[in-house]
Amino acid sequence: MPHSDHGSRLISVFSNAFQQTPSGTTTIETFLHGIQAGQWRKQVEDVRALTVSEQIKEAKKRVPAVAPSALFNGRRGKEYVQQHSGFINLDIDGKENPCIADRVVRARVYADHYVYAGHVSVSGHGLSLYVQIEPEQHEAAFLQLEQYFLAAWGVQVDPACKDVSRLRFVSYDPALYRNHEARAFISRKKRFSPAQRPAQRSFDRAVVQDSNQYFEAILSQILAAGYDLTGTYYDWVKISFAIASGYGEAGRQYFHEISKFHPKYKPVETDRQFTRCLQTRPARIGRKTIKLSTFFYMAKQAGFTYK
Read off the pLDDT of residues 37-78 as tens digits, 9 standing for 90 and up: 999 999 999 999 999 999 999 999 999 999 999 999 999 999
Q: Is the pLDDT of residue 217 over 80?
A: no
pTM for the full predicted model: 0.66
- Residues 113 and 153 placed together within one structural domain of the fold: yes
Q: Is the pLDDT of residue 274 over 90?
A: yes
Among residues 141, 143, 114, the alpha carbon closest in space to that of 130 is found at 114
- Residues 168 and 215 placed together within one structural domain of the fold: no
- Residues 216 and 92 placed together within one structural domain of the fold: no
- Residues 202 and 165 placed together within one structural domain of the fold: no
Residue 281, pLDDT score:
72
User: How confident is the model over 221-241, as a mean pLDDT?
Assistant: 86
Q: Is the pLDDT of residue 138 over 80?
A: yes
In a domain, 101, yes or no: yes
- Residues 219 and 294 placed together within one structural domain of the fold: yes
- Residues 159 and 219 placed together within one structural domain of the fold: no
SS3 133: strand
Residue 16, pLDDT score:
98
- Residues 142 and 209 placed together within one structural domain of the fold: no
CA distance linking residue 35 with residue 30, whole number of Å:
9
In a domain, 188, yes or no: no
Residue 132, pLDDT score:
95
- Residues 287 and 258 placed together within one structural domain of the fold: yes
Q: Which helix (H) or strand (E) holds 65?
A: strand 65-66
- Residues 135 and 212 placed together within one structural domain of the fold: no
* Number of domains present in the structure of the chain: 2
In a domain, 185, yes or no: no
- In terms of residue numbers, what domain contains 118? 6-178
CA distance linking residue 10 with residue 72, whole number of Å:
10
Q: Is the pLDDT of residue 218 over 50?
A: yes
Q: Is 168 exposed, middle or buried (0-12, 13-18, 19+ CB in 10 A)?
A: buried
Taking residue 154's Cβ as centre, other Cβ atoms within 10 Å add up to: 16
DSSP designation for 40:
T
Q: Which of the listed residues 178, 203, 230 is the one where a domain comes to its end? A: 178
In a domain, 136, yes or no: yes
In a domain, 183, yes or no: no
- Residues 18 and 160 placed together within one structural domain of the fold: yes
- What residues are paired with 26 via a beta bridge? 11
> Helices 138-153 & 233-247, crossing angle to 10 degrees?
30
Q: Which residue has the higher pLDDT, 219 or 12?
A: 12
Residue 6, pLDDT score:
65
Averaged confidence pLDDT in the chain: 86
CA distance linking residue 218 with residue 211, whole number of Å:
10
- Residues 102 and 134 placed together within one structural domain of the fold: yes
157-166 pLDDT, tens digit each = 999 999 999 9
CA distance linking residue 288 with residue 213, whole number of Å:
26
In a domain, 186, yes or no: no
Q: Which of the listed residues 123, 153, 178 is the one where a domain comes to its end? A: 178
In a domain, 86, yes or no: yes
- Residues 210 and 92 placed together within one structural domain of the fold: no
Residue 194, pLDDT score:
38
Q: Is the pLDDT of residue 113 over 90?
A: no
203-212 pLDDT, tens digit each = 333 333 356 7
In a domain, 187, yes or no: no
